[in-house]
Amino acid sequence: MSAKPVKASYRHQGWVAHVFLLPWMLGMILVTAGPLIASAFLAFTDYDLLTAPEFIGFDNFTRMMEDERFWASTRVTALYVVVSVPLQLAFALFLAIILDKGIKGLPLYRSAFYLPSLLGGSVAIAILWRQLFGDAGLINTVLAFFGIEAGSWLQNPDTAPWTLIVLNIWTFGSPMVIFLAGLRQIPDELLEAAQVDGAGRVRRFFSITIPLLTPIIFLNLILQMIGSFQAFTPAHVVSGGSGGPLDSTLFYTLYIYQEGFVNFDMGYAAAMAWVLLVVIAIATGITFIVSRRWVHYGDE
């Protein structure tokens, strides 16, 4: 009985839906799809915002191959992603497991560990980091107390990128919260049954907890990886916008910013943005393909 009037009204929903979707449609065309097409076009042009874009074929891409700074920024970003993401996830998982076993004061600990994630992307924290790792900053003072002379972390190209890696690891709280939610989904009966069967703590962890958690590990890996590829604020603030010393903190996105909005080389910047898109897509794709070997879903 009730199905009929409902179905009758469905006929009108075509246009009604589009009224609801009007803002989204405009946004899709003006803010997303339009710029996406335009940027694909710009990638093949030389454009300085003042004169009309000039079509130059693949020149922007061949220029990248010979551009020292492009490769420097690629190396820094690769180092940043490859080192900080696994370490961040390891910290996140480790602390989630410690917190999961019904500890008193969980909300307090969770907040303490999560807080840096909330603040980590802000300019204020980047400024703090600049001072922490500065010549006479907290880190060096502590090291000096133990008799270690470290020198300047930020002016040394070997150590400068590591300060940003440490900053990213410091924000392990958000993957930790996701891990905590995942750990809660693991049924206690499974762990208890294994215990009855004589499986020890370590055995239970590696044979039950970790396999059941792999979908969550995978989700965190994808999220943090994509986020780290796009990091910008800390590098821009810590290096004063230069990406120095010796381009050692020239994150890929910072180089795009410099070329596009400092040198107004919009075509080159657009081409680089597309390379980033492709690299992120490939990295994500590979992670997905490899995941089939180690991610276990409950229904398998």
Interface mask (CB under 8 A) for another protein, residues 31-50, using x and -?
Answer: xx-xxx-xx--x------x-
Q: How many residues at the interface with another protein, by CB under 8 A?
A: 94
Cα angle vertex 272, ends 240, 262, to 5°? 35
Contact by Cβ (8 Å): 103, 160: no
Sign of the Cα pseudo-torsion (112, 118, 121, 123, in order): negative
**Residue 280 makes contact with another protein by CB under 8 A:** yes
CB 67 to another protein: min, Å = 17
List 21, 82, 282, 290, residue binding another protein (CB under 8 A):
21
Nearer to another protein, 81 or 95 (CB): 95
Residue 79 Cβ vs another protein, minimum distance, rounded to whole Å: 19
Q: Which two tokens stand for residue 169?
A: 């690891």
Nearest to another protein of 107, 298 (CB atom): 107
Fill in the per-residue mask, 80 to 119: x = in contact with another protein (CB under 8 A), - = not in contact.
Answer: ---------------x--xx---xxx-x-xxxxxxxxxxx
Residue from 132, 160, 217, 250 in contact with another protein (CB under 8 A): 132
Residues 150-209 that bind another protein (CB under 8 A): 170, 174, 177-178, 180-181
| C-beta of residue 224 within 8 angstroms of C-beta of residue 280 | no
Quick one: which segment of 20-28, 69-77, 148-156, 188-196 binds another protein (CB under 8 A)? Answer: 20-28
Taking the complex as a whole, the smallest distance from the CB of residue 77 to another protein amounts, in Å, to: 12
54 phi and psi angles, rounded to 5 deg: -110, 125
Return the residue of 82, 90, 127, 143 that touches another protein, per CB under 8 A: 127
- Shortest distance, position 222 Cβ to another protein, whole Å: 9
The Cα–Cα gap between 283 and 226 comes to 9
The pair phi, psi for residue 26, each rounded to 5°, is -60, -45
- Length of the chain equals 300
Binding segment toward another protein, per CB under 8 A, in 29-37, 148-156, 204-212, 285-293: 29-37
Nearest distance from residue 296's CB to another protein, in Å? 20
Q: Applying CB under 8 A, does 6 fall inside the site for another protein?
A: yes
* Pairwise CA distance, residues 133 & 154, whole Å: 7
| Angle made by CA atoms 295, 285, 92, in degrees to the nearest 5 | 50
Q: Supply 263's token pair.
A: 């040198």
CB 85 within 8 A of CB 225: yes
Distance (Å, whole) CA 164 – CA 166? 5
Q: Which stretch binds another protein (CB under 8 A): 55-63, 133-141, 148-156, 242-250?
A: 133-141
Least gap, CB of 285 to another protein (angstroms): 11
The one among 14, 57, 200, 298 contacting another protein by CB under 8 A: 14
Told to check if 30 binds another protein by CB under 8 A, we report yes
**Per-residue x/- mask for another protein, residues 230 to 269, rule CB under 8 A?**
x-xx--xx--x------------x--xx--xx----x--x
CB atoms within 10 A of CB 77: 24
Tokens 């009758």 -> residue: 8
What secondary structure letter does DSSP report for 46? E
Q: Tokens 């220029």 sit at which residue?
A: 63
Q: Which stretch of DSSP H or E encloses residue 26?
A: helix 22-27
